[in-house]
Amino acid sequence: RETSPVVSHRETSPVHTGARRITPGGKRIGLVSAFRFDDEQTHRLFVTEGFPNKECYARRHGYDNIFVTSYEGLGRSVPKTRVELSDQDKWRSSWAKVVLAQQHLPYYDWILICDGDYFILNYSRPLEAFIEEFEKSGEDIHLFAPRDYPYEGNFAFSMFALLVRNTPLMNEFMTEWIASRFTCEESAFWAEQPHVFIAIARALRKYHESPVSPDVDCSRFCPAGVSGSLAAPKTGSNGSLRQLQLNITRCLDKVARGLNLTLGHYDTKLKAPMVWSWGPSHHKFPTRDIGLGLNLLFEVDTNLYAIPHAFAAHVKPIHQSDLGDFRDHTRKQAWLMTKDRRREQVTEDACLTQYARMDDETIVRIAEESEALSRKWFEEKMLRMRQFNRQEASSVPISAEGGGTR
């Protein structure tokens, strides 16, 4: 059986076999994003806006940028299931980034899983700024999530970004997140959002060795007979998917509150194994650090104020040719404000300056070449791991009873 190198959260000096780059502080950190759009104009827009943003940020701080926009390499069997998906199906409903992250997590200390429309706004701030705060707290933090709303007691969030630490718990979390995709009948095309809440709730309970009672078993809301999509729900034997997601969200809230977890990533008592960002504060603290990202798809009018202070933002790109006729003024304003914020840093960053001079075709070509190099690197690591496992297996002495001993 093939295994992957896992960094235990109990180890202080883990041995790595992976990352191509290493930070000045000795950490291996990877940015993972994956998407594919059928509409070529939309796809090109996400690549030309997203790739330079993540690539230059990664270069500045010594991270790997694993930026995937093709089907190749993700058509493998889903871990711990007997289901084989076609490449096309693997990419449906934002599952590609999850599969890619699960594959790469064992080779890093931390990975940032991010959507194609997640943009870094503050290039000078490394991810270690968050990680070091967690380490200073003395808490054993494994997972860092964004936050959409400032309301107390709301532990749900949009899955546009997630910072995950390489520990046995999180490797199991990633595998269970993917495997949960097939616990519902017809759920192969269900968005990854509610499934991550189920997997998080299970990981929180496991870490705290909390007993599993029906009211905190969030997987009970993943029944057979529910079909459709969150955007256009159909009614199954257990109601609509929209109601289903609401039930799962409430279940996660109940699990987190029951374990006395807290909201906010600083100026508060953190508690293992998960941290939530502070999120927008609706003008109460206009310059406060909101955490992993500002969601500009919800309550946009009230969140625009935070753009100048945000580390990153979740915002839908708009093609330049569409801006004149774009009717959603708030969404357009959000896109232009975040783009202006990114443009301000071009003169301060040689990498961004270089990409600003390129045409779209050149950026797309470089992104494809980068993806090919990432894929080649990963395949080489997997080959070496298989060779190592075979050597390990052949070196196991045989006991008198005929079984292997170590």
Q: What gap in Å lies between CA 405 and CA 401, rounded to an integer?
A: 10
120-140: pLDDT as tens digits: 999 999 999 999 999 999 999
Polymer length of the chain: 406
Half-sphere exposure of 54 (CA within 13 A, CB side): 30
- 247 in Cβ contact with 221 (< 8 Å): yes
Half-sphere exposure of 306 (CA within 13 A, CB side): 30
Sequence ranges of the domains in the chain:
29-188+261-390
Cβ-Cβ contacts under 8 Å for 366 (sequence gap 6 or more) = 51, 358
Residue 328: pLDDT band with limits 50, 70, 90? confident
pLDDT at residue 9 in the model: 32
pLDDT at residue 61 in the model: 95
pLDDT at residue 5 is higher than 80: no
Least confident range from 63-72, 230-239, 294-303: namely 230-239
Q: What gap in Å lies between CA 40 and CA 324, rounded to an integer?
A: 21
Secondary structure of residue 211 in the 3-state scheme: coil
Cβ-Cβ contacts under 8 Å for 265 (sequence gap 6 or more) = 130, 133, 144, 275, 276, 277, 278, 289, 291
**Which class is domain 29-188+261-390?**
alpha beta
Beta strands in 18-80 (DSSP E): 29-34, 64-68
pLDDT at residue 389 is higher than 90: no
Residue 189: pLDDT band with limits 50, 70, 90? low
pLDDT at residue 111 in the model: 97
pLDDT at residue 39 is higher than 60: yes
203-229: pLDDT as tens digits: 999 999 988 787 788 888 765 444 444
- 204 in Cβ contact with 155 (< 8 Å): no
Burial of 110 (0-12, 13-18, 19+ CB in 10 A): buried
pLDDT at residue 25 is higher than 70: yes
pLDDT at residue 403 in the model: 40
Share of the chain above pLDDT 70, in %: 77
Beta strands in 117-216 (DSSP E): 118-120, 143-145, 161-165
Residue at token pair 């890619």:
100
Least confident range from 5-14, 207-216, 287-296, 397-406: namely 5-14
Burial of 178 (0-12, 13-18, 19+ CB in 10 A): buried
pLDDT at residue 351 is higher than 50: yes
Q: Using CA of residue 317, residue 244, residue 270, residue 101, what is the dihedral sign?
A: negative
Q: What gap in Å lies between CA 297 and CA 279, rounded to an integer?
A: 13
Beta strands in 238-353 (DSSP E): 274-276, 294-295, 312-314
pLDDT at residue 190 is higher than 70: no
252-287: pLDDT as tens digits: 999 999 999 988 888 778 999 999 998 887 556 667
